[in-house]
Amino acid sequence: MTTESTGQGGRRPVRIGKYEVLRHIASGGMGAVYKALDVEAQREVALKVLPPDLAANPRMCERFRREAQAAARLRHENVAAIYEFGEVAGTFFLALEFVDGIDLHEYLERHGKLSPDVARDFLKQAAKALAHVHNQGIVHRDIKPSNFLLTMKDGRPLLKLSDLGLARQVREEDGRVTRDGTTIGTVDYMSPEQAHDSGLADARSDIYSLGCTFYHMLAGHAPFNEGSLIERLTKHVNVEPPDIRTINADVPDDLVHILKRALRKKPAERYQTSLELLRDLLNPDRIRAPREAKGPEKA
């Protein structure tokens, strides 16, 4: 992707097909993201471009293609929409809804721990997004604050789930891009089973990662944010996170219960679906304060 000289000391806008690149937004392991203008539809988009070295790798191209296929089926207010996946002169790109705002991780960096009411609202929106994604047979596998975009709508914060680059269809086993026995995801928010093998991740793994994200909202940091990569992975598998009330004393009993259940080490002891978690969020009166002496609640 290059600019072209106008011959008069200026440069023509960078173009990828019908998209005019306006500015760089971010870069990550699966490519750079630009704000761009769809000159045909006259709308701004987030253009995700696969770097040349990855584009030359068939497995990476396959992951990029699957991201497009997975996201193309999603239509929900709390999920960033995908418009097009394509290739122009060897450049692979994904055109996504442009969300005018910042990601949740940056928001937390600026504001620190959130009030329980704000965190509850954000968790409701995130659970709705995950419920829609899971209903389409997709496991995200990289739920974390930086993959939620925060903008405003009608004067209220609106959260949108983004980046399905690690997603896979639940029933898609043949030709899986991720090999058994490998780990993909982000360590600070990774479920115990995903730490062992990404192929074991299911909807309940996303719920664990969402629980870690919720913990970050309430505490101002992830549950296990210190130590080496191996040390943090080991803590996810074997160690209970510090009681959230020792960090944020304002957290009510119902949110403590929801957080603890989402962060159970064993998938069978967590919420089994995002809708189940959402029901508890919407009906706090139906939740009893958890009694640890009786052991973990069975789903």
Res. 185 pLDDT band, cuts 50 70 90: low
Question: Average pLDDT in the 16-44 region?
Answer: 91
- Active site (catalytic) residues: 142
How far apart CA 48 and CA 27 sit, in angstroms, is: 9
**Would you call 235 helix, strand, or coil by DSSP?**
helix
Query: Alpha carbon 200 to chain centroid distance?
Result: 18
Instruction: Please state, rounded to an integer, the average pLDDT across all residues of the chain.
Output: 85
What are the angstrom distances between the C-alpha of 5 and each of 9, 119, 123?
7, 49, 48
Q: Check whether 79 has a pLDDT greater than 90.
A: yes
Q: Check whether 137 has a pLDDT greater than 80.
A: yes
Q: Which two tokens stand for residue 217?
A: 């909202």
How far apart CA 116 and CA 261 sit, in angstroms, is: 17
How far apart CA 113 and CA 110 sit, in angstroms, is: 9
Q: Check whether 134 has a pLDDT greater than 80.
A: yes
pLDDT at position 288, please?
A: 58
How far apart CA 269 and CA 264 sit, in angstroms, is: 6
Q: Do the bridges between strand 156-161 and strand 148-153 make them parallel or antiparallel, or are there none, so unpaired? A: antiparallel
pLDDT at position 298, please?
A: 42
Structural contact between residues 80 and 104, judged by C-beta atoms closer than 8 angstroms: no
Question: Average pLDDT in the 284-289 region?
Answer: 72
Q: Check whether 293 has a pLDDT greater than 90.
A: no
C-alpha closest to that of 120 among 281, 287, 285, 290: 281
**Location of structure tokens 């960096």:** 109
Q: What domains can you pick out in the chain, each with its CATH number?
A: 13-97 (3.30.200.20), 102-294 (1.10.510.10)
pLDDT at position 82, please?
A: 86
- β-pair partners for 125: none
Phi-psi region at 52: left, alpha or beta (left = phi > 0; alpha = psi -120 to 50):
alpha
pLDDT single digits (tens) 44-72: 999 989 888 777 888 877 777 776 777 78
Q: Check whether 275 has a pLDDT greater than 80.
A: yes
**Would you call 140 helix, strand, or coil by DSSP?**
coil
Name the pTM for this structure. 0.84
Res. 163 pLDDT band, cuts 50 70 90: confident
Dihedral over alpha carbons 203, 278, 249, 229 (to 10 degrees): 10
Centre a 10 Å sphere on the Cβ of residue 7 and count the other Cβ atoms it contains.
7
